[in-house]
């Protein structure tokens, strides 16, 4: 008994087998023993860009430019055995296809009466793989120039494995670097205690046996030691930021910012600064780290408005669909936009020490913290009119309460 698919009126329209082919996700092509079209589904028409009508006058081998299709078809019919091969396939837009040829049996068993071709378009996969191979090579070259000389055996190991091993290498190198920078900063600090301590004792106890010039030099030694101490302390903070997990919670930005500004005001009581922190600013982040961000940005605004008679500092939220974006702006010294790239690099300063003091590590620290949160920091400024520093933090839901 043959099953038939019926239309609405109940009339049989075609055998079930063809109907199934019509609805499969693969491109199906029924061929006679010479490779001529018996039937093709719509997917094949779409794939090859030819109508069912056009396909009827075509042969299977017409769709490969290098003869691979013809050869594969010959093997299938000649050996009366299923063939599977990946080949470039198509006429105008040649792509890569995974081609399976399944012979259908004929009465005498030695040669098939026809062939069922199942064709899957794998062009995009192959393109993605090729792009990935290029990226992996590029990555390898960047991670370790000596590593780039791949043998074909290694190539065959697969991009995924190599990407994972590269990622491991990068993570390990990063950890090593962090540990190194931490221990270097830590050990560098030890001799400073001696320089600072003994020069101070020299000044205090033996200052009378030195002339003014001698005392001045000794003061310079102490000043330099103290500056180095600050620099190392900042480096330690920077190194420490990369360590440890982020402890995310919904935090009250407004409260922290106001407390920082209160501290700034009390440590600098003779200054009058108009500070405006918007109400109800919150974000999901690591409170310990974001406090460092706010302290740096507000501290910078405080510092760079110090020569302004009517200093003004604002912290506000900017509109964004995906992130919490905040803006710290001031009407201070600003900077030249052509140097904006340097702003977030460690030890880069846009002002001389005599103008405004600092170590050049603050904004690098800010950037590293914001990057760890998956956000971005950027700035714009006008010389003499002020600076605007923006930072974004991706919006996450925690379901937690705002920390009071």
Q: Which positions lie near another protein, rule CB under 8 A?
A: 186, 189-194, 196-198, 200-201, 226, 229, 236
Q: How far is CA 384 from CA 268, 307, 335, 338, 358, in A?
A: 22, 10, 8, 15, 19
Cβ neighbours around 145 below 10 Å, total: 9
Q: Which residue number, 78 or 197, has a Cβ lying nearer to another protein?
A: 197
Q: Are 179 and 187 in contact (CB under 8 A)?
A: no
Query: Least CB distance from residue 226 to another protein, whole Å?
Result: 7
Query: Least CB distance from residue 200 to another protein, whole Å?
Result: 5
Q: What is d(CA 110, CA 89) in angstroms, rounded to the nearest whole number?
A: 29
Q: Which residue number, 142 or 243, has a Cβ lying nearer to another protein?
A: 243
Q: Which residue number, 157 or 186, has a Cβ lying nearer to another protein?
A: 186
Across-strand partners of 402?
Answer: none
Q: Which residue number, 49 or 191, has a Cβ lying nearer to another protein?
A: 191
Q: What is d(CA 231, CA 246) in angstroms, rounded to the nearest whole number?
A: 25
Query: Least CB distance from residue 222 to another protein, whole Å?
Result: 9
Query: Least CB distance from residue 185 to another protein, whole Å?
Result: 10
Q: Are 33 and 112 in contact (CB under 8 A)?
A: yes
Size (the chain), residues? 404
Query: Least CB distance from residue 240 to another protein, whole Å?
Result: 9
Q: Which residue number, 204 or 212, has a Cβ lying nearer to another protein?
A: 204
Q: Which residue number, 189 or 388, has a Cβ lying nearer to another protein?
A: 189
Q: What is d(CA 310, CA 273) in angstroms, rounded to the nearest whole number?
A: 7
Query: Least CB distance from residue 366 to another protein, whole Å?
Result: 22
Query: Least CB distance from residue 333 to another protein, whole Å?
Result: 29
DSSP of 349-368, one letter per residue?
-SS-TTTS---S-HHHHHHH
Q: What is d(CA 247, CA 390) in angstroms, rounded to the nearest whole number?
A: 23
Q: Which residue number, 185 or 331, has a Cβ lying nearer to another protein?
A: 185
Q: What is d(CA 110, CA 286) in angstroms, rounded to the nearest whole number?
A: 74
Query: Least CB distance from residue 201 to another protein, whole Å?
Result: 6
Is the torsion defined by CA of 200, 268, 241, 245 positive or negative? positive
Cβ neighbours around 253 below 10 Å, total: 25
Q: Are 271 and 286 in contact (CB under 8 A)?
A: no
Q: Are 394 and 323 in contact (CB under 8 A)?
A: yes
């Amino acid at each position: 008994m043959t099953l038939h698919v019926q239309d609405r009126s109940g009339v049989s329209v075609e055998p079930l087998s063809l109907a199934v082919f019509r609805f499969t996700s693969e491109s199906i092509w029924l061929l006679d023993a010479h490779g001529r079209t018996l039937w093709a589904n719509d997917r094949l028409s779409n794939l090859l860009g030819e109508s069912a009508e056009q396909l009827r006058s075509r042969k299977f081998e017409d769709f490969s430019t290098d003869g691979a299709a013809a050869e594969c078809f010959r093997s299938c019919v000649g050996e009366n055995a299923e063939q599977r091969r990946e080949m470039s396939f198509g006429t105008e837009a040649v792509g890569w296809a995974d081609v399976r040829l399944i012979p259908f049996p004929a009465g005498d068993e030695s040669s098939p009466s026809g062939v069922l071709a199942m064709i899957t378009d794998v062009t995009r996969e192959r393109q993605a793989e090729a792009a990935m191979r290029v990226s992996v090579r590029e990555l390898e070259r960047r991670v370790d120039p000596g590593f780039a000389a791949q043998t074909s055996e290694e190539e065959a190991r697969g991009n995924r494995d190599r990407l994972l091993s590269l990622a491991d290498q990068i993570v390990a190198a990063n950890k090593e670097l962090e540990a190194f920078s931490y221990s270097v900063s830590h050990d560098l600090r030890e001799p400073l205690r001696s320089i600072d301590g003994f020069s101070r004792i020299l000044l205090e106890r033996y200052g009378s046996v030195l002339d003014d010039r001698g005392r001045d030099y000794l003061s310079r030694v102490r000043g330099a030691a103290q500056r180095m101490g600050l620099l190392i302390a900042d480096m330690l903070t920077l190194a420490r930021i990369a360590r440890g997990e982020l402890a995310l919670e919904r935090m009250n930005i407004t409260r922290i910012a106001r407390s920082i500004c209160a501290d700034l005001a009390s440590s600098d009581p003779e200054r009058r600064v108009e500070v405006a922190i918007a109400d109800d600013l919150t974000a999901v982040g690591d409170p310990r780290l974001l406090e460092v961000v706010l302290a740096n940005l507000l501290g910078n605004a405080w510092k760079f408005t110090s020569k302004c008679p009517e200093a003004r500092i604002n912290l506000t939220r900017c509109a964004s669909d995906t992130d919490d974006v905040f803006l710290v702006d001031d009407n201070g010294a600003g900077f030249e936009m052509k140097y904006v790239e340097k702003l977030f690099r460690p030890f880069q300063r846009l002002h001389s020490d005599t103008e405004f003091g600092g170590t050049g590590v603050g904004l690098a620290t800010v950037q590293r913290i914001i990057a760890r949160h998956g956000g971005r920091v950027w700035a714009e400024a006008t010389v003499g009119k002020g600076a605007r520093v923006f930072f974004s933090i991706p919006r996450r839901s925690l379901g937690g309460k705002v920390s009071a």
